[in-house]
């Protein structure tokens, strides 16, 4: 239950897969990251011409990854619905014609959508290189991205058998009590999947007491990689604007103080900064945005923590 003053929102099932699909289209950055852009569903075919339509394709030009997106509802059968559907999509995604189609769709979106274009510009990718950059990303194996309202044991087990990496994110729906037309959706914090076989397949870190997605600023403070009161900086230049520099203070509870507000995560703090600078971006990765006085990002400090063995 979510409570806002006297208003209560209770968890509710999605009306249909189509409802969940639209929620993902409208909010894809909260799953696939701030340097991603989203291509809508389009029909692709296997080598023998069997057609299939994924719910979309997310291409992360910053991380150089791409996703076959299939929004699902937990009550649908893994074996009769999800597994065969995703298998066809994987096979179809490997066809050259599919990749050419996606490159052309990406170029068209770059040319027509200023928000997508800005992401390329932020990464200093010139217009002449867009086709090459996207094409190179599509030559890598796709990640199977599954936003879903809950994860079953069979779904976890099936995902871990695939050759391709799988990420499962839980997205929840809440409706106002006695007023079901008022709806809010819950997305995971900091893009955190419920299951990530890509992370599971990586070599084990020295610090096995904590997983990457679970590292918070309090962990960095406890490991003396950050100190209470330390200043972190971030510079941002919006499109057609002046560069601004922001300074956030690390607080004892692991939050950041910026612009007179407290933020529970580095990404929320960074987002407040870039929007103050004039950007209309919806998301930003605060772990790579904020730096200490030695020019180390929070992501660098997180890696240092994970690669440090814990001694008793």
Q: pTM value? A: 0.90
- Phi, psi dihedral angles at 118 (to 5 degrees): -60, -35
74 torsion bin: left (phi>0), alpha (psi -120 to 50), beta (else): alpha
Q: Give me the pLDDT at residue 310, please.
A: 61
Contact 267, 286 (CB under 8 A): yes
What does the block give as tokens for 191?
């893009």
| Torsion sign over Cα 62, 67, 73, 78 | negative
Better-scored residue on pLDDT, 273 or 212: 273
H or E stretch including 51? strand 51-52
Backbone φ and ψ of 129, nearest 5°: -100, 0
Which are the contacts of 121, defined by CB distance < 8 A and separation ≥ 6? 239
> Is the distance from CB of 206 to CB of 307 less than 8 angstroms?
yes
Q: What does the pLDDT look like over 264-293, one tens digit per residue?
A: 899 999 999 999 998 888 899 999 999 999
The SS3 of residue 9 is strand
Q: Which is it for strands 143-148 and 166-170: parallel, antiparallel or unpaired? A: parallel
β partners of residue 234: 246
pLDDT at 208: 64
DSSP 93-157: HTSHHHHHHHHHHHHHHHHH-HHHHHHHHHTT--GGGHHHHHHHHHTSPPEEEEEES---HHHHH
The full set of domain ranges for the chain reads: 2-200, 212-303
Which band of pLDDT confidence, cut at 50, 70 and 90, is reported for residue 294?
A: very high
Q: Does the pLDDT value for residue 205 go beyond 80?
A: no
Please state, in angstroms and rounded to a whole number, the distance separating the CA atoms of residues 36 and 28. Answer: 8
| 67 touches 144 (CB < 8 A) | yes
Assigned token pair, 299: 């992501």
Pairing relationship of beta strands 256-258 and 244-250 according to DSSP bridges: antiparallel
pLDDT digits (tens, 9 = 90+) for 54-74: 999 999 999 999 999 999 999
Confidence of residue 75 (pLDDT cuts 50, 70, 90): very high
At residue 211, the pLDDT reads 67
Per-residue pLDDT at 178 exceeds 80: yes
Rg (CA), the chain: 21
- Rounded distance between C-alpha atoms, residue 13 and residue 157, angstroms: 24
Report strand pairing: 65-69 vs 143-148. parallel
Mean pLDDT of the chain: 94
* Planar angle of CA 288, 244, 213, nearest 5 degrees: 15
Contact present, 279 and 115 (Cβ < 8 Å)? no
Record the tokens describing residue 12, joined without a space. 């509710």
- pLDDT of 250 above 60: yes
Nearest 5°: CA angle at 109, between 101 and 104? 20
For the segment 129-150, the average pLDDT, to the nearest whole number, is 98
Give yes or no for a contact between 232 and 247, defined as CB atoms under 8 angstroms apart: yes
């Amino acid at each position: 239950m979510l409570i806002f003053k006297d208003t209560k929102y209770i968890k509710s099932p999605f009306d249909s897969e189509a409802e969940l699909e639209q929620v993902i289209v409208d909010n894809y950055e909260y799953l696939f990251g701030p340097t991603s852009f989203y291509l809508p569903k389009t029909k692709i075919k296997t080598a023998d011409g069997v057609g299939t339509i994924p719910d979309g394709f997310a291409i992360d030009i910053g991380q150089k990854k791409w996703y076959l997106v299939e929004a699902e509802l937990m009550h649908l059968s893994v074996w009769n619905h999800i597994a065969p559907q995703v298998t066809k999509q994987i096979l179809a995604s490997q066809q050259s014609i599919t990749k050419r189609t996606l490159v052309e769709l990406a170029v068209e979106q770059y040319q027509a959508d200023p928000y997508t274009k800005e992401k390329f510009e932020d990464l200093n990718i010139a217009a002449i290189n867009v086709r090459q950059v996207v094409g190179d990303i599509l030559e890598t194996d796709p990640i199977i991205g599954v936003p879903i309202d809950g994860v079953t044991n069979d779904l976890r087990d099936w995902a871990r058998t695939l050759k391709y990496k799988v990420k499962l994110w839980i997205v929840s729906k809440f409706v106002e009590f006695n007023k079901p037309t008022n709806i809010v959706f819950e997305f995971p914090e900091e893009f955190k999947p419920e299951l990530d076989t890509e992370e599971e397949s990586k070599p084990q870190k020295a610090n096995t007491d904590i997983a990457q997605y679970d590292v918070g600023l309090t962990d960095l403070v406890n490991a003396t990689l950050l100190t209470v009161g330390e200043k972190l900086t971030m510079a941002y230049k919006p499109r057609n604007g002046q560069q601004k520099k922001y300074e956030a203070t690390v607080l004892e509870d692991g939050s950041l103080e910026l612009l007179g507000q407290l933020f529970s995560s580095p990404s929320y703090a960074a987002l407040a900064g870039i929007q103050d600078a004039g950007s209309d971006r919806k998301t930003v990765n605060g772990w790579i945005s904020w730096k200490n006085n030695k020019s180390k990002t929070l992501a660098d400090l997180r890696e240092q923590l994970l690669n440090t063995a814990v001694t008793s």
